[in-house]
Structure 1
Amino acid sequence: MAGNEPSVDYGHDSPAVPENGLEGQAEKTTDKRPEPGLPIFSILDSIDFSEHFIIIGDVGTGKSTVTPIHEYELWKGKRQIVIREPSRAACNALFYSLQALHPELGEELAVITKDTQINVSGKIKIVTDGVLLRMLAENAIYDSSIYFDESHQMTSQLELCMSLARKQEASARNLFRVMSATIDPKEFLSFLGISNLYRMSGRRYHVSLDVELAVDLNGMLKTLDRYLYSQPRDESWLVFLPTRRLVEKYASSYRGVYIHGGLEGSEVNRIQRRAELDKNLRIFATNVIASSVNIYVDNVLIFDDVIDSKDKLGQKTLHYTSIDNNSLLQMIGRIGRFKPGRAVILSDAPLPQKINPIPVRKALETETPFDLVLLMSKYGLKLSELEFMSKVDHREVAFAENWLVEIGAIDRHRKTTWKGLLMSEIPYEPDFAHMISSALISGDYDMARWLLASGSFGDSLNHAYKSEREREARRFLYGFDRTSELNI
C-alpha cells in the first residue's frame, strides 16, 4: 500500500575517489560541459583515459552523455569512439541527445543500427551489439575506445563482442570502457583485464518511492486504472508495462503515446521533444526505454510484471515474473534527472526495504545459444579459440549446432550457408527466422512478408518490419490470442 517506501542503494558514497592510481592522462582540451550539475563531473578529471576503466554510477548521472564526448575532446578528435547501446531505440535516443547537446560535432557523430545509418564515417559511432560484432569480426576497430555502455544488459552478442575485443587487445590497441549503474564489477575487471574502477553516487534531484500492493494480477490492473484516473492532469507520467499490446491499449484508452521496439528512432525522438513541452503527457512504454533514453516527465509508474523466458535444449518456456532489481533501478532512473520526481511500483509481492543491484544475467547461461553458433559460423570463429565471461554449456552448444545443421543454416563443416546468412540478418527467434528464410529462398515472398509482420507483434526481441501485411497480421493474431501477450 502507499507509504511503504523501500530505499534504493546506489553504491558507495565516495564520488571523486578512483579505486586505483592514475597516470599517463591524455592531454586535455577546453571542456564543453552542458550540464555541470551532473555527478559525472565529480570524477571526470580523475579518470585515466589512457587505460581501460569501469564507471559505476547511478542512472542519470551523465555517464553516457558526457564521458565519451569528453574523451573525444581529450584526444582532439584523433581517436575513434565506439559506443555500444543495448537496443536500436537506445542508440537513436543517445544520438539525438548528443546531437542536441553538441551540434558542433556535426558529421563526426554517427549512429549505425540494422535499419538506421547516419554519418557512418563519423569518428563517434553509436552502435548496437550486432553492428559492433561485425566491426570486431572484420577487424575494423583499432586504436579506438570501445564503450560497453549499459553492460548490465548482457546479450549473447555482447559476450561475443567482449570475447573478440579481449582476444584482439594486443594487436588492435583498443581501450575498453564498461559503464553501468547496476553491475557487480568483479567479473568485468577480471575478464577484460581492467584495473581502474571509478564509482560515483547520487542523482541530481530527489525521487520519492511508493509501493502499491495488490492481491494478484487483476488487482494490479485495477490499481493501475485507478492511478491513471485519479492523478492530477498537470503532471506527466511514464508508465512501464510488460507488453507491446498493453502499452498500445493503454495509450489509446488514456489519450497518451506509446514507445516500444517497433518505433523508429525519429518517432521516439519526437516523443522526447513533446515531453519537454506537454506537461500532461502520459507515455506508456515497454522496457525497451528502461536504459539510455532520457524522457522529461514528472513521475514514473512501474507495473511490476514481466514476461521471462528460459531456453534449455531448444525448449523455450514463457512465464510472468517480477521485474528484477537491476531493471527496477533503471526504470526509476528515468526520473530525477531534470527535476524532483515520484516513482510508484504496482506489485503483488512485497518489495525488499533496499533495492540493491543483482549479478548480471548472462544470456549464454540461460538460453540455447543458437545466435552464438550461427554468428560464430558466419564470421569463421571457433569456440575453442575464444573465452567467455559465462560458463558455456557445451551440451547446449552441441544442440544448437545440430539443429542448425539439420535445417541447413550451417553445413557439416560448421560454415554458414546462404540460409544461415539470411537467418543472421532476421532479428527474430531462431524458429521464426528459419521459417522466414525458407520462404525467401523458395520465392514465397507473400509468406515471408506475412511472417515478418506477424513476428513484429509477437517476438520478444521487439523488432518490427514495415509491411503492408502488418494490419492484417495484427487482426489475425489478436483474434486468436485472448491474453495480454502473443505467446508465439
Structure 2
Amino acid sequence: MVKFKSRPSTPNGKPAKRPRMAYMEDSDEERTPVKAGKKNLESPKKRMKSAAPVSGKQHAIQEQRKLLPIAQGRDALIHEIRENDVTVLIGETGSGKTTQIPQYLLESGLAGKGMIAVTQPRRVAATSLANRVAEEKNTEVGKLVGYSVRFDETSSEATRIKYVTDGMLVRELLSDPILSRYSVIIVDEAHERTLRTDILMANLKAIQQKRNKPTDRKGKGPAAALSPLKIVIMSATLDAEKFSSFYNKAKILYVKGRQHPVTIYHTATSQADYVDSALRTFFQIHTDRPPGDVLIFLPGQEDIEGLSSSIQLYANRLPQATPGVLLCPLYAALPPGQQTKIFSPTPKGMRKCILATNIAETSITIPGVKYVIDTGKCKEKRYIARSVGSGFDTLLTRDITKSSAMQRAGRAGREGPGFCFRLYTEDAFKNMPLSAEPEIRRCTLTASLLQLKCLGQDLEELEFMDKPDEENILSALAALYILGALDDKKALTKNGRDMAFLPLEPYLARVVLAARELGCVREILDIVSVLSSNSKLFFDSADQRDAALEARTKFRHSSGDHFTILNVVRSFDEIAKTETNAGKKDWCHKTYLNFRCLTEAVAIRTQLKEVCERMKIDWTASCGDNEQPVLRSLVRGLVQNAAFLQPDGSYKQVMGPSIVKIHPGSVLCDKKIPAIIYDELVYTTNIYARGVSAVPRSFIAEVPVLNHRKA
C-alpha cells in the first residue's frame, strides 16, 4: 500500500475531512515487445537538414527537433516510404512522428509538387499540430503549413503540409474523388478507428490503385497526369498487422519513443465516484508530492467543469504557503484560444492541473506533466437502432480499453520519470478489452452513406477493415429515403446531392433546403448554426439555476426551443452592433448564455451563407414574424424525430417504438402538446427529447413519405 503523507488542508491549516485514497503500487508501464520482422528505425543518429539560418528561439526549436527519437531514423524512414506505396508506421509515445514525418517528406522532395495531408480524428489536434509545425518551419499558419477542420480552414495556395480532420478529407472526395492535390496522405492515430478514418482508408486503397497504375504504351494512363500517391498509416499502438493486411501486406516500420519510467498505482478497491476520487487524489499529489503538473483524464465536458469548480474551491482554502493551482480544461468544444493555455509554461509558485477528455491521450504533447490521474472512464458514441429508419445516437460513459490506459499512463513520462494514479483496481485493468470497437460498428451511418452515394459508392459493397452492422446500414438507407435524399431504388436524388454539399448533418441540410422552398432561409440559418456548434447555448450550475431561468425568460418562445434559439441569436446580433467583444461577453454572462457557442455559431452562419451563394440559395429570404414556414422547414428535416402525445402525458414516436419525455431543460417541459419534433434523444433514467418544438399534426402529415405509407 502507498500511503500519502498529508491531506488537503482547510483555511485553518487542519487536514480536510475528505477520506484518503489507498493505492497498490504496480510496476513500470506495461510494454509489449515488438514482433520479429519489423524494421527498427533506430539507426545511428544523423544530422538533420536544416532550413534557412535561424537564431534565438528558432535555433532552440531546431535543436529540439534533432533530439527527438525519430530523428535518429530520418534517412532510413524516408528511404522506406520512397520505396513502398503504403507504409504502416508504429511510433511510440514521444517519438515525434506526427510533427516530424511530414517535414522530413517535404524536405526530402518526396512529395514533389503536391501537398502532404496529415489526418487527425479531432479538431483540437489538427489545429494545435499545425501551429507547432508552422513554428518549427518558422512560418505563419496558413502559409507553408495549414489546417482544415469543420467550419474553420486556414490554408493557401502556398500550403504544402496540411493537418486535416479525417472528416474534412472525406468531404474533399466530393469535389476531388482521387485527391489529386495530394502526393502523400498520412493517416495518423489510425488505431482509434473512427468512422471517417475507416471510410477514408477504404477510399485511399481504391484511389491509390488508380493513381499508381502504370501508364499505357501511349502515355494516357492515370500516372501520366498525376503523381503517384504515397500512403502512410501511423498508429501509437502495436495493432499493425491488421492495417498491413488491409493494404496487401504493407511494410511495417517501428520507431521507439522517448518514454521515461512511469510508476503506476492502482486503487486497492473500486471507486464508486470517479470525480470525487480524482479530486482527493489531486490534493494528495498537490500537498504531498514534488513540483510537476497534473493531467486528469475525465469522460466529458460536464465532468471537467464540475471537477474544476471543486478543485478551485478547495485550492482557495489551502494555506498561503501552498503553491497555487492553475486550472486548464481541454475538450473538443474548447475554442483554440483557450486550448493554447495548456501549452504555456507553468507560472512560478503554481501547479498546473489539466482536466482533459481522451483527446489528450495521443497526438498532442503537453509539456510539464509529471502526474497523471486516470479515472478509467470515457465517453463513447453509440447508435441505438430501435427499428428501420428509427434510432438515436447517445454518448455513454464507459470503461476505457487497455490500450487507452497505457496511452494515458505514457503522458506522465514524456519529459522525465512520472507517476500514474489509476482510479481502478489492477484486476480491472487486466480484464479490460485491448482496444475499442470500431465506430463503423456502433455509430449512425446516415451522413457517411450519403457522402458515399455522392461518390457513386455503396456502403454495402465498399471494402472496409471491419464490415458495418447490417441493421445500421438499413436504418441509414431508410433515414435518407425519408429525408428525400434517396429514391425508392436507393438512387441519389438532386436533393440528396444538395444535402451533401452543405457542411451539415443530413437532417439539418434538409431543413435548409426546405427553407429555400418556403422562403425562410435567414431564420433557419440562425437556428441550424447554433445546433451545429460544438458547445451548448445554455449552461446552468446547480446554485444558479433559478437565476439563469429568470434571466432567460425574455427569450422563451411559446412554440418551443427552436424559436427560443432564434430569439437569442437575434438579440445577440443586436448587441453585436454596438458592443465590443468584452461587452458581448458581459451580456452573455448576465443572461447565462454561452458566449463561445454564439461566436462559433456566427462563424458557422457566415460559412453557410457562402455555401448558399454557391448553391444559388437566397440566404436573405425571410418570413418575418410568420412562424409557420420555419416550423414546416424544421418538420421536413426532423420528421423522423416527431412524436404524438399519449394519454399518460408521454410521447410516442411517429416513426419508431420509443416512448419519450420532454427534457427538463426544454421550454415545453411542463406543457402538454399534441405533436412535437425534437433534435435528439438523450438516454438517462428515461428517454428524453431535447430541442423540442410544438407543431400542428397537419405539418407532419404533409411529409411525402408519410403519404406514401398511407397509400
Shift of 1:453: 5.9
Query: Is residue 184 of structure 2 the alignment partner of residue 112 of structure 1?
Result: no
Q: TM-score scaled to structure 1, two decimals?
A: 0.82
Distance 1:277 1:436 in 2: 53
Shift of 1:70: 1.0
Equivalent pair of 2:333/2:535 in contact (CA under 8 Å): no
Distance 1:240 1:310 in 2: 21
Q: 1:201: which partner in 2? A: 256
Distance 1:63 1:299 in 2: 23
Distance 1:483 1:399 in 2: 23
Equivalent pair of 1:332/1:343 in contact (CA under 8 Å): yes
What is the aligned counterpart of 1:393 among 465, 469, 474?
469
Q: 1:462: which partner in 2? A: none
Matched residue of 2:198: which SS? helix
Shift in CA distance, 292/421, structure 1 to aligned 2, threshold 3 Å: farther
Matched residue of 2:411: which SS? coil
Shift of 1:127: 0.5
Distance 1:2 1:161 in 2: 43
Shift in CA distance, 37/450, structure 1 to aligned 2, threshold 3 Å: closer
CA deviations 1:205-233 (Å, max 9, x no partner) are: 22222122444422x33322212333336
Shift in CA distance, 6/354, structure 1 to aligned 2, threshold 3 Å: farther
Shift in CA distance, 306/5, structure 1 to aligned 2, threshold 3 Å: same
Q: Give the alignment of 1:260-409 within 5 angstroms.
A: 260-275=331-346, 279-296=350-367, 297-313=369-385, 314=391, 316=393, 319-347=396-424, 350-352=427-429, 358-359=434-435, 361-383=437-459, 386-409=462-485
Q: Which residue type is aligned with residue 87 of structure 2?
A: F
Equivalent pair of 1:95/1:111 in contact (CA under 8 Å): yes
Q: Which residue type is aligned with residue 73 of structure 2?
A: I
Matched residue of 2:258: which SS? coil
Q: 1:254: which partner in 2? A: 311
Query: Is residue 250 of structure 2 the alignment partner of residue 211 of structure 1?
Result: no
Distance 1:483 1:386 in 2: 35
Residue segments in structure 1 that go unaligned for 5+ positions in a row: 21-27, 459-465
Larger Rg: 2
Query: Is residue 82 of structure 2 the alignment partner of residue 34 of structure 1?
Result: no
Q: Give the alignment of 1:433-444 within 5 angstroms.
A: 433=508, 443=520, 444=523
Q: 1:24: which partner in 2? A: none
What is the aligned counterpart of 2:281 among 195, 220, 227?
227
Shift in CA distance, 277/14, structure 1 to aligned 2, threshold 3 Å: farther
CA deviations 1:127-186 (Å, max 9, x no partner) are: 011221133441333561111100011122111111111111133321111111124112
Shift in CA distance, 309/130, structure 1 to aligned 2, threshold 3 Å: closer
Q: Structure 1 residues 282-291 or 9-18, which shifts more?
A: 9-18
Query: Is residue 87 of structure 2 the alignment partner of residue 49 of structure 1?
Result: no
Equivalent pair of 1:92/1:266 in contact (CA under 8 Å): no
Q: Give the alignment of 1:56-71 within 5 angstroms.
A: 56-71=90-105
Shift in CA distance, 324/64, structure 1 to aligned 2, threshold 3 Å: same
Distance 1:243 1:183 in 2: 27
Task: State how many pairs are aligned.
Answer: 471
Q: Which residue type is aligned with residue 81 of structure 2?
A: F
Distance 1:127 1:371 in 2: 19
Matched residue of 1:261: which SS? coil
Q: Give the alignment of 1:134-145 within 5 angstroms.
A: 134-137=171-174, 138=176, 139-141=178-180, 144-145=183-184
Distance 1:405 1:277 in 2: 60
Query: Is residue 107 of structure 2 the alignment partner of residue 73 of structure 1?
Result: yes
Q: Which residue type is aligned with residue 465 of structure 2?
A: M
Equivalent pair of 1:213/1:350 in contact (CA under 8 Å): no
Q: Which residue type is aligned with residue 371 of structure 2?
A: N
Equivalent pair of 2:378/2:399 in contact (CA under 8 Å): yes
Equivalent pair of 2:171/2:451 in contact (CA under 8 Å): no
Matched residue of 1:111: which SS? strand
CA deviations 1:186-208 (Å, max 9, x no partner) are: 22112123531112335342222
Equivalent pair of 1:108/1:123 in contact (CA under 8 Å): yes
Q: 1:124: which partner in 2? A: 161
Shift in CA distance, 426/368, structure 1 to aligned 2, threshold 3 Å: same
Equivalent pair of 1:38/1:61 in contact (CA under 8 Å): yes
Same amino acid, percent of matched pairs: 21
Distance 2:499 2:376 in 1: 37
Distance 2:183 2:528 in 1: 39
Q: 1:463: which partner in 2? A: none
Q: CA RMSD in A?
A: 4.0
Q: 1:4: which partner in 2? A: 25
Equivalent pair of 1:13/1:200 in contact (CA under 8 Å): no
Distance 1:179 1:69 in 2: 15
Q: Which residue type is aligned with residue 190 of structure 2?
A: S
Q: 1:179: which partner in 2? A: 234
Q: Which residue type is aligned with residue 45 of structure 1?
A: D
Q: 1:461: which partner in 2? A: none
Q: Which residue type is aligned with residue 484 of structure 2?
A: G
Q: 2:54: which partner in 1? A: none
What is the aligned counterpart of 1:89 among 124, 127, 149?
124
Shift in CA distance, 408/61, structure 1 to aligned 2, threshold 3 Å: same
Shift of 1:417: 5.0
Distance 1:39 1:16 in 2: 21
Query: Is residue 100 of structure 2 the alignment partner of residue 100 of structure 1?
Result: no
Shift of 1:72: 1.1
Shift in CA distance, 11/38, structure 1 to aligned 2, threshold 3 Å: farther
Matched residue of 1:267: which SS? helix
Matched residue of 2:202: which SS? helix
- Report 1 or 2 for greater relative contact order, CA contacts < 8 Å, sequence distance ≥ 6: 1
Equivalent pair of 1:149/1:180 in contact (CA under 8 Å): yes
Shift of 1:118: 1.7
Q: Which residue type is aligned with residue 305 of structure 1?
A: K
Distance 1:16 1:320 in 2: 39
Shift of 1:280: 1.1
Distance 2:514 2:28 in 1: 52
Query: Is residue 187 of structure 2 the alignment partner of residue 153 of structure 1?
Result: no
Distance 1:373 1:322 in 2: 29
Q: 1:239: which partner in 2? A: 296
Distance 1:104 1:434 in 2: 37
Distance 1:268 1:244 in 2: 14
Matched residue of 1:140: which SS? coil
Matched residue of 1:298: which SS? strand
Shift in CA distance, 318/34, structure 1 to aligned 2, threshold 3 Å: closer
Shift in CA distance, 13/311, structure 1 to aligned 2, threshold 3 Å: closer
Q: Which residue type is aligned with residue 261 of structure 1?
A: A
Distance 1:16 1:273 in 2: 41
Equivalent pair of 1:153/1:361 in contact (CA under 8 Å): no
Distance 1:457 1:308 in 2: 22
Shift of 1:395: 3.7
Residue segments in structure 2 that go unaligned for 5+ positions in a row: 1-21, 42-47, 52-61, 212-227, 313-326, 386-390, 539-567, 573-587, 598-662, 670-681, 691-711
